[in-house]
């Protein structure tokens, strides 16, 4: 298998970002284990800087730029967590951050990005408007564009999350993560592959944005027209760099409905007393729905983030 990132690349990313991000705790819950019929180990990236795993990829992408290039700043488009990640990383590096956000992004995420001192440009909530605005800013400022997910430095950063989980719990049988653009899933699959080749990697994906599911069925990237789900962090389309890693390494994509996502989110809030966002509840919903592959197994679950607008809860 010809993989674009080695374990040494992931280790280097981990060394680079460790001073800037948290090593997040792994929590367990007897009552959720009972409900799932499995032994679950929750890697709590909701406790990560910016409240989501994207701090890892963002910090790695910004910090690994050559100093000359870094000083013109960085630009990206994102509806939320990646925006915060780049804004935070730029602040830590002392360089400007230009963030294009759809004007429909959750208030809590807009406020957080502004809080890190980034310059925000609001755009229409379409891929085209996002990309056009980012390209214009790139041209005007000389800033480097950092893709939310289709970027090997971002993937290497996200891979550090599963790396820590497997360092803490080497005996896991399965790891499950959500999939949107695929940066986290690709990184997770790489770390698992290098650290324990017999471990199986699954992903949960929302029914209304199941492009990864369709892509795996077809064997090639297949888009979904107008993706839509309460899991607003998972609407991005699979990046080709990620798919090259996911296709050979991921066992299965498990599709869940918005209703199942909200139910899983509520279960985690009620039983574990931690706040997770809808996108983060997707793998939990998947393992509660599909059950069979997980029964009696030790399962690592990547809880990706906890940035929810408390004024707009789905309960």
Positions touching a copy of itself (CB under 8 A) are 25, 27, 46-47, 51, 108, 266, 269-270, 272-276, 306, 310-311, 313, 315
Contacts of 141 (CB under 8 A, 6+ apart): 72, 73, 75, 96, 98
The smaller minimum CB distance to a copy of itself, of residues 239 and 305, is found at 305
Whichever of 118 and 199 has its CB closer to a copy of itself, that residue is 118
Candidates 251, 136, 116, 246; CA nearest to 183 is 246
Place of tokens 């599911």: 213
- Quote the least distance from Cβ 25 to a copy of itself, whole Å: 7
Distance of CA 15 to the CA centre of its chain: 20
CB environment 171-190: b (16+ within 10 A), e (fewer): ebbbbbbbbbbbbbbbbbbb
By C-beta, is 43 or 130 nearer to a copy of itself?
Answer: 43
CB of 105 to a copy of itself, least distance (A): 16
Q: Which of 46/144 has CB closer to a copy of itself? A: 46
Q: Compare residues 3 and 272 and give the one whose CB is closer to a copy of itself.
A: 272
Residue 78, SS3 per DSSP: coil
Cα-based torsion angle of the residue sequence 313, 44, 234, 251 in order, rounded to the nearest 10 degrees: -140
Cβ contact 153:57 at 8 Å: yes
Q: How far is the CB of 108 from a copy of itself (least distance, A)?
A: 7
Q: In whole angstroms, how close is the CB of 274 to a copy of itself at the nearest point? A: 6
Nearest distance from C-beta of residue 297 to a copy of itself, angstroms: 24
């Amino acid at each position: 298998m010809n993989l674009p990132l080695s374990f040494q690349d992931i280790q280097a990313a981990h060394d680079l970002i460790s001073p800037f991000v948290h090593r997040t705790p792994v929590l367990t819950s007897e009552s959720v284990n009972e409900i799932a019929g499995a032994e679950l180990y929750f890697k709590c990236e909701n406790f990560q800087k910016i409240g989501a795993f994207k701090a890892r990829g963002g910090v790695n992408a910004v910090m690994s730029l050559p100093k000359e290039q870094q000083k013109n700043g960085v630009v990206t488009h994102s509806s939320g967590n990646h925006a915060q990640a780049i804004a935070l990383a730029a602040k830590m590096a002392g360089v400007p951050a230009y963030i294009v956000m759809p004007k429909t992004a959750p208030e809590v995420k807009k406020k957080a990005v502004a809080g890190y001192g980034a310059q925000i440009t609001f755009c229409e909530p379409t891929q085209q408007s996002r990309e056009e605005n980012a390209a214009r800013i790139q041209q005007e400022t000389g800033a480097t564009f950092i893709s939310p997910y289709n970027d090997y430095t971002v993937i290497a950063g996200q891979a550090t999350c599963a790396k820590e989980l497997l360092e803490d719990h080497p005996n896991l049988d399965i790891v499950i993560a959500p999939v949107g653009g695929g940066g986290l899933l690709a990184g997770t699959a790489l770390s698992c592959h290098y650290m324990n080749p017999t471990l199986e990697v699954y992903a949960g994906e929302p029914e209304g944005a199941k492009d990864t599911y369709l892509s795996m069925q077809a064997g090639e990237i297949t888009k979904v027209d107008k993706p839509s789900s309460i899991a607003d962090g998972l609407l991005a389309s699979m990046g080709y760099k990620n798919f090259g890693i996911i296709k050979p390494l991921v066992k299965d994509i498990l599709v869940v409905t918005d209703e199942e996502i909200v139910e899983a989110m509520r279960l985690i809030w009620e039983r574990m007393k931690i706040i997770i966002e809808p996108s983060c509840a997707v793998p939990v919903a998947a393992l509660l729905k599909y059950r069979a592959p997980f029964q009696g197994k030790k399962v690592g679950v990547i809880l990706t983030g906890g940035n929810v607008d408390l004024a707009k809860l789905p309960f």
